[in-house]
Amino acid sequence: MRGSKPMTASALALATAWISLAASQALGATLTVKAGESIQAAVKRALPGDRIEVEPGLYKETVFIDKDGIELSGIVRGGQWPVLDGENKLNDGVLVSGHGVTIERLWVKRYKGNGIMTQGSNNYRIAYNVVEGPCFYAIFPQFGKNGLVTHNVAFGSEDAAIYVGMSDNVDVVHNQTYASIIGIESENSHDILIENNYVHDNVVGIATTMLPALPVKSSDRIIIRNNIVARNNMKNTAPPGAITAGAPPGLGILVLGTDHTTVEGNLIRDNDGVGVMVSETNFLVTTPDDRMDPFPDSTQVLRNVFLNNGSNPQGTLRDLLDIAGVERGVDVLATGKGRDHCIADRLALTTLGTRNFADCAPGTTSAAVASMQTAKPVVATPFTADQKGRLTYLAVCTGCHTYNSKLVGPPMVVIKALYGKDEQRLADYIAKPVRKRPDYPEMPSQDYLPEDIRLAVARYILSELSH
Ligand code: HEC
């Protein structure tokens, strides 16, 4: 065949793609980490594009990957996994800032902060991992584009088990999450597909949120489809003061202030509060932010199966239903302003507050969207020092700090006032944080960030950050 006929353009493209794939595979070396060795040491030795295979065994470390194209891949043999154990002492299991990185088949447990987190990475893949709490976020892609989170099991998070923060073009598919405050959350993100997940026994099943005081001021185009969302009735044990502390148990799916959110084809059952709630940001968070619109617009509640939801609403949800004088068993509840919503099958559902929802046109479906990932890898341009400061702020600090409200750490306005123009002192603090406030947790050290990056982020916060 080869060479016998002139190639068509697409055959040529295919062949070129194959050759470059083969070439990149031939170029990438495989490094093996055995039980008792350090994964981080292998990452240090690895070149961009290398694959690191981790043998079954116990690894007590934080792995920080700042190189592109690394594939960190666990080997599971005879039921034995490579286990990363933070022993409730270390903050993070795997931290990724390189692009095109894969993290797969690791059992990550007992990290205080994050199990697996990406910080500003694009084109990542997080697959087939088990992430066990207690931790804050089990899987947390933050501020990146084009990612896949698939076939993971995540449980025991004190916030969201899978948390997609300020990200674009991410598929969260075929995961299982449970025993967490929120099963899956998409926060201030765009073009997110949450599909075929089993989300059960959390406080809140799936939430899409538009939160204030973060640098990204919108949240748009999210599809929640074909998930099983069941029994999300766990007692809320989030620490008082946390945003999630106000979330009433029993919410199957919560659409909080996000736009163009589609809820389609889910099995939503036995959530004791309400099946689907569409509400404005203020339902959970009241920090003022006049640069964002807190009202959800253009929600589509298409065909879903609702079974036995709403039998025992609690907290603010119960109060709301009591005021409205509603019997229990609400499938879909909408509060607040918001425009251009629609709902299908209205007559088959028990709804409250959906008077301003139109009937969705017959046949409306999101089926044409098979994936939200981009067709080609996102190309990141190299950053200047100033841009690195901003990026680090977005990718790292906003996980815990907002501009003017308490998140995990104190608001940045307070920090700006405390440090004035002293960039060096701020850069030093984040490498070696000391306990200052009795009513806050300890800030984990960010000493994996090189000195110039710490200075750049300090400069950004003290000189530029303004909302
Ligand atoms: C995992 C959560 C977390 C992350 C990520 C985080 N912080 Fe913090 N930060 C905290 C907490 C909690 C405190 C409060 C600690 C205390 O007062 O004891 C804090 C306090 C601070 C303070 C106050 C120090 C003082 O003198 O009062 C500064 C400055 C600070 N953080 C900067 C940063 C910067 C810059 C980043 C990003 C590079 C960052 N933090 C990332 C949680 C975090």
Q: Atom of ligand 1 at shortest distance to CA of 454?
A: 38
Binding site membership of 321 for ligand 1 (Cβ less than 6 Å): no
Task: Determine the Cα–Cα distance for residues 269 and 231; give it in Å rounded to an integer.
Answer: 7
Tell me the CA–centroid distance for residue 443 and ligand 1, in Å.
5
**pLDDT of the chain, 467 residues: tens digit per residue:** 333 334 444 444 444 444 444 444 457 899 999 999 999 999 999 999 999 999 999 999 999 999 999 999 999 999 999 999 999 999 999 999 999 999 999 999 999 999 999 999 999 999 999 999 999 999 999 999 999 999 999 999 999 999 999 999 999 999 999 999 999 999 999 999 999 999 999 999 999 999 998 889 999 999 999 999 999 999 999 877 778 888 999 999 999 999 999 999 999 999 999 999 999 999 988 888 999 999 999 999 999 999 999 999 999 899 989 998 888 999 999 997 889 999 999 999 999 999 999 999 999 999 999 999 999 999 977 778 888 898 899 889 988 899 998 888 999 999 999 999 999 999 999 999 999 999 888 899 999 899 999 999 999 999 999 88
415 ligand 1 Cβ < 6 A? yes
Cα dihedral 319, 321, 323, 326 sign: negative
Which residue's alpha carbon is at the smallest distance from atom 32 of ligand 1? 430
Q: Is the dihedral of CA 406, 409, 415, 416 positive or negative?
A: negative
Q: Is the CB of 395 under 6 A from ligand 1?
A: no
> Does ligand 1 have an atom closer than 6 angstroms to the CB of 353?
no
CB 374 within 8 A of CB 169: yes
459 Cβ inside 6 Å of ligand 1: no
Residue 457 Cβ contacting ligand 1 at under 6 Å = yes
Question: Cα(64)–Cα(431) distance, rounded to whole angstroms?
Answer: 15
CA-nearest of 169, 167, 172, 285 to 218 is 167
Q: Which atom of ligand 1 is nearest to the CA of 408?
A: 12
Q: Is 316 exposed, middle or buried (0-12, 13-18, 19+ CB in 10 A)?
A: middle
Specify whether the backbone of 336 is left (phi greater than 0), alpha (psi in -120 to 50) or beta.
left
Q: Which amino acid would we find at residue 272? A: D
Q: What pLDDT, on a 0 to 100 scale, did the predictor assign at position 6? A: 42
429 touches ligand 1 (CB under 6 Å): yes
Pocket test for ligand 1, best of 401, 414, 421, 446 (most atoms within 8 A of CB): 401
Quote the pLDDT of residue 374.
97
Give CA–CA dist 84/39, Å, rounded.
10
Is the shortest distance between the CB of 409 and ligand 1 below 6 Å?
Answer: yes
The token duo for 129 is 């991992």
Measured between alpha carbons, how far is 142 from 118 in angstroms, rounded to an integer? 6
Quick check: 274 and 251 in contact, CB under 8 A? Answer: yes
Please state, as a whole number, how many other Cβ atoms lie within 10 Å of the Cβ of residue 374: 15
408 lines ligand 1 (CB under 6 A): yes
pLDDT for res 287: 85
Structure tokens at 209: 């949120």
Pair 180, 161: CB distance under 8 Å: yes
In a mutational test of the pocket of ligand 1, which residue from 443, 454, 459, 465 has the highest number of ligand atoms less than 8 Å from its CB?
443
**Which of 398, 400, 416, 459 to mutate to test ligand 1, by most ligand atoms within 8 A of the CB atom?**
400
Distance in Å, CA 460 to ligand 1 centroid? 15
Residue 437: CB within 6 Å of ligand 1?
A: yes
Cα separation, 190 vs 218, in Å, equals: 8
CA of 395 to the centre of ligand 1 (A): 14
With a CB cutoff of 8 Å and minimum separation 6, the contacts of 365 are: 264, 302
Q: How far is the CA of 430 from the centre of ligand 1 (A)?
A: 7
Which atom of ligand 1 lies at the shortest distance from residue 461's CA?
35
Whole-angstrom distance, CA of residue 194 vs CA of residue 201: 18
Residue 174 region by backbone torsions, left for phi larger than 0, else alpha for psi between -120 and 50, else beta: left
Q: How many CB atoms lie within 10 A of CB 115?
A: 34
Is there an atom of ligand 1 within 6 Å of 400 CB? yes
Residue whose structure tokens are 């295979």 = 53
- CB of 394 within 6 A of ligand 1: the answer is no
Cβ(266)–Cβ(304) under 8 Å? Answer: yes
Say yes or no: CB of residue 436 within 6 Å of ligand 1.
Answer: yes
* Ligand 1 pocket, residue 277 CB under 6 Å: no
Q: Is the dihedral of CA 72, 446, 158, 268 positive or negative?
A: negative
Cα 13 to Cα 184: distance, rounded to the nearest angstrom: 38
CA of 72 to the centre of ligand 1 (A): 29
> Which amino acid is residue 2, in one-letter code?
R
Residue 329 dihedral angles phi and psi, to the nearest 5°: 90, 35
Q: How far apart are CA 224 and CA 354, in angstroms?
A: 19
- Looking from the CA of residue 399, the nearest atom of ligand 1 is 5
